[in-house]
A and B are shown apart, each in its own frame.
Chain A
Amino acid sequence: MSLIDLKDIKAGYGATPILNGVNMAIDASDIGVIVGPNGAGKSTTLKAIFGLLNVMDGTITFDGRDTTRLEADRLVPMGLSFVPQEHNVFTSMTVHENLEMGAFIRRDDISGTLDEVYEMFPDLKAKRRQPAGELSGGQRQMVAMGRALMSKPKLLMLDEPSAGLSPRYMMEIFEQVVKINAAGVGILMVEQNARQALAFATKGFVLANGQNRFTGTGQELLDDPDVAKSFLGG
């Protein structure tokens, strides 16, 4: 049984669904990458999982429990974490406080996890007393990921973590994603830089018009001529 299982998800903001039956399964050992054209429902899938919008049909099972109708404040304690694409740091709070907010649901000692995050992103340790709003885009992305890791998630969901970043930061973020996964955290991410992301994905999903178009390992998708032609720019 997978860590998370999406079965025929139909979801959207109003009455008209954006997702018309999405299926996905991710294990704790997996790095899942969702790619596809704009408006395909990539981000919507993550938001539907995280209870941020209305799921009309289908079921979501996380860690053996039905979480279809649960909202964020119940999902985080169960081991789900989400890094939104934009506005993903508390700009008026320091880096350190941002990380503490990620651990809001925890009542135990968080210093160990803090050390791990600072070890993972040494840049942040030096800036931990600075308001997150003063950091560069790449550093903000690190704060956002660090915040999401502070709750010790089983599954980390990232919405376009490399958007707007320089290649150097993109590579660093991807490296960290692989490391986090190696430590036993499942990953599900949406990526625009599809080729780079699929290169290390154990599971790749191509979405179009709110439905799965292709599913396979990252390498399979990269090798598939149809996928390459339609979705990876030839």
Chain B
Amino acid sequence: MNDLIFFFNQAIIGGVVLGSIYALGAVGVTLIFGILRFAHFAHGDMMTLGGFISFVLAGIVAGLGIAFPLPIGFIVVPFAMLIAAGLALGIDKGFYAPLRARGAKPVTLLIASIGVTMMIQGLIRLFFGVGTYSFFDTQPKVLHRIELPFEGVTRPISFSEPQLLLVISTIIAVVALHYFLTRSRLGKGMRAMADNPDLAKVSGINTKLVVRVTWIIAGALACLAGTMLALDVSLKPDLAFNIVLPIFAAAILGGLGHAYGAIAGGFVLGFAETLAVFNWSVLLRPFRDNLPEWFEIPNTLSLVQSEYKLTVAFVILVVVLLVRPTGIFKGAST
């Protein structure tokens, strides 16, 4: 039973946490792809930028000396999301919109997003250096432990407060996005434009407005994901650059352009990564006596070594691209 809880703490909670981050990022990538038809490579850096915006805001709030029952980094997230949405709009206006107006191919926009990546990275490091920052210098990081009322169970289920908040805010974001896309006029307009941009234009849908709303949502969600990731681990300038590929993998896995697919893809990848590096011999040990004589449980029995954790996402990505580029879920993205 203790081993099972170990499995739960390591693999399930780990998978949910990682999956939430991937899902929040992948939704933004997939929305931008659906509306603007290009792979927005700078999305990971918009996440990092969002994390740093929250960090600065949290520093200001902490300076005011008000005590909060929750991490300050989390309290300021709505404001940071607003700022990040504004920045996303500015980035679009400054670097992508002129290219679109010229009728540039999506590939050109992809290269431009590399330029934006480099600018954001350079600026963040210019201002914040290359060091690591923590949101929990002024307040402690709360750990939750749930003791299970079973006999012989000594190991508690444990997770940190930021992890709990991450999962809660992911659920809220996903539900809100769902209602936005299925109930609101603009949300439906967004789906219409992703479905058939020419017909959307013919229907009189204000495509420029839809583009703006897309950037606002993508920027805000990227900020949320970046901040929550920074709260869970720590804030580094290359925080999200390293997970931009898994995020793309998640978006492609779910079928580029499909918001729900991206969320599912995020969680699939999150679990795939944590389960692939999980040491399965932990779960085999209780059955030591029942196993055949010749079978000796090795000390480590993981599918891949933990150094290759990130590689799992890339391998899945490449296999999906080769076997089913439209994603594992229903739908075609052209």
Contact = CB atoms under 8 A, between A and B. Distances in A.
Direct contact, A vs B (beta carbon within 8 Å): yes
Contact of A89 (B185, B199, B205, B207): B199
Given A84-B198, A97-B188, A104-B185, A92 B205 contact: no
Size class of the contact patch on chain B: 10 to 19
B196 A87 contact: yes
A23 B185 CA distance: 38
B204 A90 contact: no
Interface of B is mostly: helix
Contact of A90 (B185, B199, B201, B207): B199
A78 to B, nearest CB: 10
A102 B331 contact: no
A98 B37 CA distance: 22
Nearest to B330: A92
Contact of B205 (A50, A52, A73): A73
Interface centre among A50, A52, A73, A91 (most CB of B within 10 A): A73
Given A87-B196, A92-B331, A93-B195, A101 B188 contact: yes
A49 to B, nearest CB: 12
Contacts of A72: 201-202, 204
Interface string B185-205: 100110110011011111111
Given A97-B188, A104-B189, A76 B203 contact: yes
B194 to A, nearest CB: 8
B195 A91 contact: yes
Contacts of A73: 201, 204-207
Interface string B101-143: 0000000000000000000000000000000000000000000
Contact of A101 (B192, B207, B331): B192
Contacts of B203: 76, 101-102, 104, 147, 151
A105 interface: yes
Interface centre among A75, A76, A92, A100 (most CB of B within 10 A): A92
A82 B199 CA distance: 9
Contacts of B204: 72-73, 75-77, 104-105, 151
B191 A88 contact: no
B198 A87 contact: yes
Given A72-B204, A77-B204, A151-B204, A93 B192 contact: yes
B199 A84 contact: yes
Nearest to A51: B201
Interface string A135-156: 0000000000001000100000
Nearest to B191: A93
Contacts of B195: 90-93
A75 B199 CA distance: 14
Given A91-B196, A93-B188, A101 B202 contact: no
Interface in B202-253: 202-207
A84 to B, nearest CB: 6
Contacts of A88: 199
A84 B192 contact: no
A104 B203 CA distance: 7
Contacts of B188: 93, 97, 100-101
Nearest to A100: B188
A91 B191 CA distance: 11
Given A73-B207, A92-B331, A101-B188, A50 B202 contact: yes
B103 to A, nearest CB: 12
A101 B188 CA distance: 7
Interface in A89-128: 89-93, 97, 100-102, 104-105
Interface string B63-79: 00000000000000000
A45 to B, nearest CB: 15
Contacts of B198: 84, 87
Contacts of A89: 196, 199
A52 B203 CA distance: 12
Contacts of A84: 198-199, 202
Interface of B: 185, 188-189, 191-192, 195-196, 198-207, 331
Interface of A: 50, 52, 71-73, 75-77, 82, 84, 87-93, 97, 100-102, 104-105, 147, 151
The 6 A-B pairs at the shortest CB distance, nearest first, are namely A76-B204, A90-B195, A105-B204, A101-B192, A104-B205, A92-B195
Given A87-B196, A90-B191, A102-B203, 14 more contacts: A71-B201, A72-B204, A73-B204, A73-B205, A84-B202, A91-B195, A92-B191, A93-B192, A97-B188, A100-B185, A101-B188, A101-B203, A104-B185, A104-B192
26 contacts: A50-B202, A71-B201, A72-B202, A73-B204, A73-B205, A76-B203, A82-B202, A84-B202, A87-B198, A88-B199, A89-B196, A90-B195, A90-B196, A92-B191, A92-B195, A93-B188, A93-B191, A97-B191, A101-B189, A101-B192, A101-B203, A101-B205, A104-B205, A105-B204, A147-B203, A151-B204
